[in-house]
A and B are shown apart, each in its own frame.
Chain A
Amino acid sequence: MELKNKINSITELCGNNQQIVIRKFSIGIVNPIDAALIYKDGLVDQNIINRDLLNPLMHQVNEDLSTILLINEHVCDKYISMSKIVIENDVNIVAKDIKSGQTAILIYTTNSFIVADTAGGEHRNITEPMDEVGVRGPRDGFVENIQVNLSLIKRSLKDNNLEIENLIVGKRSQRDIALLYINDIVDKGILDDIRYRLSLIDVDFIGSSGEVSQYIEKYPYSIFPQAYVTQRPDIVQSNILEGKIAIIVDGTPFVLTVPSLFIEFFQASEDYYQRTIVSNFNRFIRIFATFIVVMLPSIYLTLIKYNSELIPIRFIIPIVQSRRGLGLSPFLEILAMLIVIEILREGGLRLPNKIAQTLSVVGGFIIGNAALQAKLVSPTTLVIVGVATIGTFIVPSYDMSISIRLLGFPFLFLVNYLGALGLIAGLYFLFVHLLSLDSFGVPYFPIDKYGDLKDMFIRSPLWKMNKRPESTPNNNPIRQTDFRNNFRRNKDEKSRK
């Protein structure tokens, strides 16, 4: 009777009777005692339950268990051949564990539960992330399973101070969320703030980490992303070593690291794996491309609409000739082309690879060529818009590249009405906005941290970055020592000998 009550209370706490499997059985051959095994269907690995729990308990217990006092401990010690096993008294915790794929064993005569980790179920294999491909870096990427993701990070970050905190968010979805940080590096103020914000989330359902970042960020109406999203464990590892906090949401391969800085979105992990000069050049190209994406169409519009005297005569003649007989005004022409490209991009994003190729051929070549021949746009405009579009692909972070692309539009409108003044106004507004943003209390665009210039627009040699970036507050500024200086000394000593 008591057994039934306990089982009922568990099934009630777990919510849905239909999904909970209750397997009643007897332990021992001599004087058998009643027991039950409770788990949630679909979340466990049946083989483990059959092999390591049911089989030993039902068939291999030859002694009389009814005389033993601490029967749970005895059973765990002698019969259950599993390593991850706990004895739990609290029914609520047991119910929670069952929901995450564990199995509870309830022996009739005892008050506590044996909880065994039998979590199973299929998950995607670890593959290289499609949209964050690296040439020289590690090839593994996060998957949808939080335990696998945690193991990916722990595997090559064996520091004792690595802390993992677990939370559950979402009233109905009850997602597991893990906070990862290095305890002696992270700034406790920021950690408390993030923990507090996460604990206050009150929604039904959380689908992906993108939602979490929108729930906790400070400026929801800003165009810039305030949490760095990545699928690569190496980026998460190096970020938490800089004093950042990783937020892993179960069921999504995208891991957030906060607080994030504006410049971080323009740095790729590749920068650190390649040689110094090469990666410096890459960074320069990236910043230059960002400038082009935002400004080039509007600068072009200013030049041909209002300030054509600034274009050298050798350039202006072909431009004027190519514009002869065009129907659209320069502004409409640029806007139309930009919108067509946005349509192509949005359309191609969700198409299967093979059809997407057709789309790009039809969209890029055929429509582009037809628009030229139909005298809708001039070739110069097409070049400008094309270059600006290609530029967006150079920003390593997808979130940031969308934001950057979108920035071009307000600039275009401003310039159309205000000429170069629109350029000034737009830039100034952008600067003020960027400088007023913060990501969890940390300035988004730090300008007074001179030490960090080593790794912002340029990347100095890795062995020279002895301090962690100041822009992210941390408790342990020293990252490494000047170990390369030791090389020379050893050599001298050897030569003297």
Chain B
Amino acid sequence: MKKVGSNAITLGEVTFLLVGSMVGVGILSLPNDLVVLSKQDAWISAFIGAIYPLYMVIIASILCKMNPKNNILILSKKCFGKIIGSILNIVFLLYFLLLTTAIAFQVSLIKWTLIVHFLSLQKILIVILSLAAYTAIKGLKVLARINQLMFVLTIILSLILCTALFEGKYLNILPILGSGILNIVKASKQSSFAYGGIEIIFLIYPFITDKTKIMKASIKSVLITALLYTWITFITIYYIGIDIIPKMLWSVNMVAKTVQIPVVNNFKFIFLVVWALIICKTISNNYFAVALILKDFFIKTEIKKIIYIIYPLILYLALQYSNLSTCSSFLNYIIPKYTLFNIAYVTIITLIIYLKKDNQNEN
């Protein structure tokens, strides 16, 4: 019998949870980040960018095979000792804190700009973060299920954008590979914010019920995300063209304009309202990750209390971005560094655990 309240999640739910952790606010401005370098080939960059999450999930499944019961926090303490391990864990914690606050801030900014301009940013943030906290309290299982439901919405919304196929121009994406392979690869670095959030797999793999097929499930999630990003970037370039994309903050939203439905003037609004629902779950995932890492430090405290306590902190931090340009320049500065840190952090831990295991076997 499958209990809803528990934390154990199935393989299918892992796939959707990982897709849900990645697909969020980044996608709305992904073409903007990519076209700067790779021009009309930005959609290829979006696909290549998936190498980072792919690497992460492969490492995660290797780690899981060696140590199925302990997540990365315990392993890092094992490898580096209690003090250094804890410091590294805090750095890892800050990454999720960064994601939570950055996504929450960007979402509230989008909502403030395009949906509810009569509300203040604080009010929007309070509402969004309350929703995220409420979801996080319900536990990992519910989180996975809400991700699954939102995935359906994500797919529907992405497919709706097909209508742009009739209105765009194929000349917009030509010449393919014209911007040079080097530029395409370089640009793919810019997608790391959009792919950020995959790191949650290092925290949740002990909860997965069937640990033998984690690799397959997580690679599936990366592939789905990569295809989604490629499609969205492609259709945006196809419809709007690379010259206009940089002039818009959230260019993907513009593509929604092509959908015509009766009684409503503007489908962009509906698109954003539904997309805002989808982003809520990304914030919830990251919020939960923050609480989960903190739980490792305060083992005796209930996770519910942690979620309540960090709520004001997250709200305060999210408000510190103050505007979009500070936010994006800060993210541009910090995200590549964090990506490197994450890669190093998990790789080194995996290597040490692997070597230790070898030693044990020899002994």
* Cross-chain contact B142 with A436 (CB below 8 angstroms): yes
Nearest B-chain residue to A427, judged by Cβ: B277
* Cross-chain contact B280 with A428 (CB below 8 angstroms): yes
* Cross-chain contact B3 with A432 (CB below 8 angstroms): no
**Chain A binding surface SS class:** helix
Q: Which residues of chain B are within 8 angstroms of A441 by Cβ–Cβ distance?
A: 1-4
A465 to B326, CA, bound (A): 57
**Chain B binding surface SS class:** helix
Nearest A-chain residue to B123, judged by Cβ: A418
User: Would you list which residues of chain B between 8 and 57 have a CB under 8 Å from chain A?
Assistant: 10, 12-13
- Given A435-B145, A448-B13, A424–B134 Cβ distance below 8 Å? no
* Cross-chain contact A425 with B118 (CB below 8 angstroms): no
A-contacting 9-mer, from B95-103, B171-179, B261-269, B299-307: B261-269
Partner of B149, one of A311, A312, A444, A447: A447
Nearest B-chain residue to A439, judged by Cβ: B4
* Cross-chain contact B127 with A421 (CB below 8 angstroms): yes
A425 to B142, CA, bound (A): 17
Q: Which residues of chain A are within 8 angstroms of B13 by Cβ–Cβ distance?
A: 448
Q: Mark A420-461, 1 if CB is under 8 A from B, else 0.
A: 110111011101100111100111100110000000000000
B-contacting 9-mer, from A10-18, A84-92, A270-278, A302-310: A302-310
* Cross-chain contact B4 with A437 (CB below 8 angstroms): yes
Q: Residue B249 at the A interface, CB < 8 A? A: no
Q: Residue B313 at the A interface, CB < 8 A? A: no
* Cross-chain contact A435 with B277 (CB below 8 angstroms): no
Q: Which residues of chain B are within 8 angstroms of A421 by Cβ–Cβ distance?
A: 111, 115-116, 119, 124, 127, 276
* Cross-chain contact B116 with A429 (CB below 8 angstroms): no
* Cross-chain contact A435 with B142 (CB below 8 angstroms): yes
* Cross-chain contact A448 with B119 (CB below 8 angstroms): no
* Cross-chain contact B115 with A432 (CB below 8 angstroms): no
Smallest CB separation, B106 vs chain A (Å): 15
Q: Which residues of chain B are within 8 angstroms of A190 by Cβ–Cβ distance?
A: 1
Nearest B-chain residue to A313, judged by Cβ: B265
Partner of B273, one of A189, A309, A424, A437: A424
Q: Mark A218-245, 1 if CB is under 8 A from B, else 0.
A: 0000000000000000000000000000
- A selection of 17 A-B contacts at a CB cut-off of 8 Å is A187-B1, A306-B116, A310-B266, A311-B264, A419-B115, A420-B115, A421-B111, A421-B124, A428-B131, A428-B135, A431-B149, A432-B135, A432-B138, A436-B138, A438-B4, A441-B2, A448-B12
Q: Which residues of chain B are within 8 angstroms of A315 by Cβ–Cβ distance?
A: 263
Interface centre among A309, A315, A428, A442 (most CB of B within 10 A): A428
* Cross-chain contact B116 with A436 (CB below 8 angstroms): no
- Given A425-B127, A435-B149, A448-B10, A443–B116 Cβ distance below 8 Å? no
Smallest CB separation, A194 vs chain B (Å): 12
Q: Residue A473 at the B interface, CB < 8 A? A: yes
Nearest B-chain residue to A307, judged by Cβ: B269
Q: Residue B146 at the A interface, CB < 8 A? A: yes
Smallest CB separation, A246 vs chain B (Å): 19
* Cross-chain contact B131 with A310 (CB below 8 angstroms): no
Q: Which residues of chain A are within 8 angstroms of B135 by Cβ–Cβ distance?
A: 428, 432
A421 to B114, CA, bound (A): 11
Smallest CB separation, B24 vs chain A (Å): 14
A187 to B1, CA, bound (A): 8
Q: Which residues of chain A are within 8 angstroms of B146 by Cβ–Cβ distance?
A: 431-432, 435
Nearest B-chain residue to A259, judged by Cβ: B1
Known pairs A311-B263, A419-B116. 17 more at Cβ < 8 A?
Answer: A310-B266, A418-B116, A420-B273, A421-B111, A424-B276, A424-B280, A425-B127, A428-B131, A428-B277, A435-B142, A436-B138, A436-B145, A438-B3, A438-B4, A441-B3, A442-B1, A444-B4
A229 to B111, CA, bound (A): 42
Q: Which residues of chain B are within 8 angstroms of A306 by Cβ–Cβ distance?
A: 116, 118
* Cross-chain contact A419 with B273 (CB below 8 angstroms): no
Smallest CB separation, B348 vs chain A (Å): 36
In the A-B complex, the 5 residue pairs with the smallest Cβ-Cβ separation, listed nearest first, are A438-B4, A435-B145, A436-B142, A419-B116, A436-B138
Q: Which residues of chain A are within 8 angstroms of B131 by Cβ–Cβ distance?
A: 425, 428-429, 432
Nearest A-chain residue to B266, judged by Cβ: A310
A448 to B269, CA, bound (A): 30
Smallest CB separation, B291 vs chain A (Å): 16
Q: Residue B5 at the A interface, CB < 8 A? A: yes
Q: Which residues of chain A are within 8 angstroms of B281 by Cβ–Cβ distance?
A: 428
A187 to B123, CA, bound (A): 47
User: Would you list which residues of chain B between 257 and 304 have a CB under 8 Å from chain A?
Assistant: 263-266, 269, 273, 276-277, 280-281
Nearest B-chain residue to A448, judged by Cβ: B12
Q: Residue B233 at the A interface, CB < 8 A? A: no
Q: Residue B251 at the A interface, CB < 8 A? A: no
A189 to B2, CA, bound (A): 11
Q: Which residues of chain A are within 8 angstroms of B116 by Cβ–Cβ distance?
A: 306, 418-421
- Given A419-B116, A447-B148, A424–B12 Cβ distance below 8 Å? no
Nearest B-chain residue to A188, judged by Cβ: B1
Interface centre among A307, A443, A447 (most CB of B within 10 A): A447
Q: Which residues of chain A are within 8 angstroms of B118 by Cβ–Cβ distance?
A: 306, 419
* Cross-chain contact A429 with B134 (CB below 8 angstroms): yes
Q: Which residues of chain A are within 8 angstroms of B128 by Cβ–Cβ distance?
A: 425
Partner of B4, one of A307, A429, A443: A443
A427 to B275, CA, bound (A): 12
Nearest B-chain residue to A441, judged by Cβ: B1
Smallest CB separation, B10 vs chain A (Å): 7
- Given A424-B280, A436-B142, A310–B5 Cβ distance below 8 Å? no
Nearest A-chain residue to B142, judged by Cβ: A436
User: Would you list which residues of chain B between 201 and 253 have a CB under 8 Å from chain A?
Assistant: none
- Given A310-B265, A310-B266, A447–B5 Cβ distance below 8 Å? no
User: Would you list which residues of chain A between 297 and 325 have a CB under 8 Å from chain B?
Assistant: 306-307, 309-312, 315
Nearest A-chain residue to B130, judged by Cβ: A425
User: Would you list which residues of chain A between 400 and 420 have a CB under 8 Å from chain B?
Assistant: 418-420
Smallest CB separation, B146 vs chain A (Å): 5
